[in-house]
Structure 1
Amino acid sequence: MSAFFARYKFSIKMQEVVLILITMLWGGTFLVVHHAMTVSGPFFFVGLRFATAALLLALFSWKTLRGLCWQEVKAGAWIGLAIAGGYGLQTWGMQTISSSKSAFITAMYVPLVPLLQWLFLGRMPGIMSWIGVILAFSGLLLLAGPEGNSLAFSAGEIATLLSALAIAAEIILIGACAGKVDVRRVTIVQLAVAAVCAFIFMLPNRESIPAYSPYLLYSAIGLGMASAVIQVTMNWAQRSVSPTRATVIYAGEPVWAGIVGRIAGERLPGIALLGAALIVLGVLISELRLQRKKKAKDKPSPQQITENP
């Protein structure tokens, strides 16, 4: 066992620890969103959530907005569009398909991130990152396996597939922009753009503004605050954490969602618990680094030993 760890280097950055904590918060919002769908349409709730987040963050960062540049507007707009697509389409799809099937399809963003990163950014993930992604994706399949043996691609399932692609694009875009823009300014832009896009999506969905509900108001404010914290932290942390490593950490979201659900009275079957364990293992494996063997320049060759006894 000691020989195994001698061959690998286990390291974890402070930014990665923060991302794990954020993922716990992220997973905990699932139950709130689930109940909010009983009092609101999907796109209105997504728009209200991110509009609240943008306003709250702007109140605390209004001085920094004076330095807003075109590069930050462009970066925030692209990320915001991806956020609106990811959250909006996933929420819309859950109206017609089960939550387990939605989670299974959305899990496709895990392998999509390294593939998109390779295709568009030219960054080939390392072998340990690939193994971690495979383990995390396998765990997600067990944790949120669909009912039945096949997938019939209904409108809700297609929308959820598109949301997985949007979530993968969001992570890639954040990774590409990290370190090049001001974190708070670009986060305000992306939250505002996500809100506007979600409200616009209400039109083709023929969605009306719901009646006032205390739960809708409180959940929107609470999730708005959570969204602001999550997005700022993602932008900050991914300045030094690669998209692939971040994706494996984000794959722990359903684990934390399952824990919150269990506290609320839900019970996970044994196969789902095995999936949760695989996701945690995937996170750990992704943190391992292969150490290359260094050639000993001063070590004499067998021939030299023979010639110079």
Structure 2
Amino acid sequence: MNRVQANLLLLVVALIWGSAFVAQSQGMAEVGPMLFTGVRFLIGALVVAPLAWLEWRGLARRERAPARRDGAKIAGLGVLMLLGAAMQQIGIVHTSVTNAGFLTALYVPLVPLLSWLLLRQLPHWSVWPGALACLVGAFLLSGAHELNIGVGDLWVIASAIPWAFHVLIVGRIADRMAAPFLVASGQFLVCGLLSLAWALAMEPVSLAGLQAAAGPIAYTGVLSVGVAFTAQVLAQRHAHASDAAIILSAETLFAAVFGYLLMGDRLSAAGLLGCGLILASLLVIQLLPLLNWRRRAVAAA
């Protein structure tokens, strides 16, 4: 898979996550946030489990089976997923959805910053204006023009940190292990089990609620987790983390599209401008590096 193919796959991931917004909104009306999170991530783990098993057997035949330290890294990814989801859900209880939608997008500029500070990887210069345009676009699209920071907002801001770390390192871990399906299913299992334990301890759990939310849970478990998060792991083996953060932020744009089509939501002029900025940031980080590469190729010839 080359860089362009990886970025296109990430765009498909963003589209799936955007469509899942409708299902998540419906499912959360029937069950608590951590129960919803736990069950859907366990379903995602089951979806990927057969591929993970085949991958494990292939690595074992080549005497490259994952070591204990690899298991610890996968568990760490699962914990990052749990922290991001939990803090975001706690914040949503105490703030508006519009505020939460904008503040979650703070992970976009965090990824290139962390990549520079921790990994000494300086992204292409186009990433910085692209990340800023994406953040402004998410702000306009969310409609959070009068943002008053409260306790809930602080929780959502905090959730951007584990999400940024996850985007930054998931591709590196999967690439070093040469085991994207093992990484994907392992992190889903850890996140699902911890979320379910949290739900059993802190939330009301009922079979009737799970049955009522079965459709949204199945949709998000199979597509949003099993397919999309696994595709993210596959793509980020070949895509720069900073590019991935901006491309995945298109989830906000796709959520607005599906909200328009399925929930009757309508965008204001500011919302349309926000969509345009997000789309422009996607094009900038895709096209400028390719143009520079072509110039170098022509000069070398």
Q: TM-score range by the shorter chain?
A: 0.7 to 0.9
RMSD: 2.2
Match of 1:280 in 2: 279
Shift of 1:153: 2.1
Partner letter of residue 13 of structure 1?
Answer: V
Match of 1:134 in 2: 132
Q: Distance in 1 between matches of 2:133 and 2:145?
A: 21
Between 163-172 and 285-294, report the one with greater CA deviation.
Answer: 285-294
Matched, 1:212 2:213: no
Q: Deviations over 1:193-241 (max 9, x none)?
A: 111221233367x212134243422222221111111122111111110
Do structure 1's residue 168 and structure 2's residue 164 form an aligned pair?
yes
Rounded Cα–Cα distance in structure 2 between residues aligned with 1:237 and 1:12: 9
Question: CA offset at residue 56 of structure 1?
Answer: 2.1
Q: Deviations over 1:264-300 (max 9, x none)?
A: 2111111011001000000101111263987xx9xxx
Corresponding residue for residue 235 of structure 2? 237
Letter in 2 for 1:160: V
Separation (CA, whole Å) in 1 of partners of 2:163 and 2:69: 21
Letter matched to residue 77 of structure 1 = A
Does the Cα contact within 8 Å between 1:39 and 1:210 map onto a contact in 2?
Answer: no
1:113-161 deviation line (CA, Å, top 9, x unaligned): 111111211111121111211111111111114252x42321x222211
1:37 aligns with 2:23: no
Aligned residues: 283
- Provide the C-alpha distance between the structure 2 equivalents of 1:194 and 1:253, rounded to a whole number of angstroms: 21
Contact in 2 for aligned 1:72/1:185 (Cα 8 Å) = no
Report whether the alignment pairs 1:269 with 2:268.
yes
Map Cα deviations across residues 237-272 of structure 1 (whole Å, 9 max, x no partner). Answer: 111100000111011111100000001211111101
Unpaired runs of 5+ residues, structure 1, are: 1-10, 298-309
Determine if contact 2:171/2:234 at 8 Å carries over to the other structure: no
Cα distance in 1 for residues equivalent to 2:237 and 2:105? 24
Q: Distance in 2 between matches of 1:200 and 1:116?
A: 31
Instruction: Between 157-166 and 241-250, report the one with greater CA deviation.
Output: 157-166
| Aligned residue type for 1:218 | G
For 1:241 and 1:63, the matched residues in 2 are separated by 25
Aligned partner of 1:255 among 223, 239, 253: 253
Runs (4 or more) in structure 1 with deviation over 4 Å come to none
Which whole-Å CA distance do the structure 2 matches of 1:173 and 1:12 have between them?
17
8 Å contact kept, 2:20–2:219:
no
8 Å Cα contact 1:133/1:286 also seen in 2:
no
Provide the rounded CA distance (Å) in 1 between the counterparts of 2:87 and 2:206.
19
Structure 1 residues 220-229 or 65-74, which shifts more?
65-74
Task: Give the fraction of aligned pairs with identical amino acids, expressed as a percent.
Answer: 27
Q: Which residue of 1 aligns with 2:76?
A: 78
Contiguous gaps of at least 5 residues in structure 2 = none
CA distance in 2, matches of 1:112, 1:34: 27
1-side partners of 2:5 and 2:50: how far apart?
27
The answer to whether structure 1 residue 180 and structure 2 residue 181 are counterparts is: no
Q: Conserved in 1, the CA contact under 8 Å of 2:112 and 2:242?
A: yes
Does residue 193 of the first structure (1) align with residue 190 of the second (2)? Answer: yes
Q: Distance in 1 between matches of 2:199 and 2:110?
A: 28
Distance 1:152 1:74, change over 3 A: same
Q: Give TM-score scaled by structure 1 length.
A: 0.85
Q: Distance in 1 between matches of 2:12 and 2:250?
A: 10
Flag the structure with larger Rg.
1
Whichever residue aligns with residue 24 of structure 1, its letter is L
Aligned counterpart, 2:45: 54
Asked if structure 2 preserves the Cα contact closer than 8 Å seen for 1:41 and 1:210, the reply is: no
SS at match of 1:170: helix
Is the deviation greater in 68-77 or in 186-195? 68-77
Higher helix share: 2
| 1:91 aligns with one of 89, 92, 95 | 89
The separation in 1 between residues aligned to 2:50 and 2:3, in whole angstroms, is 33
Structure 2 counterpart of 1:192, one-letter code = L
Amino acid at match of 1:167: W
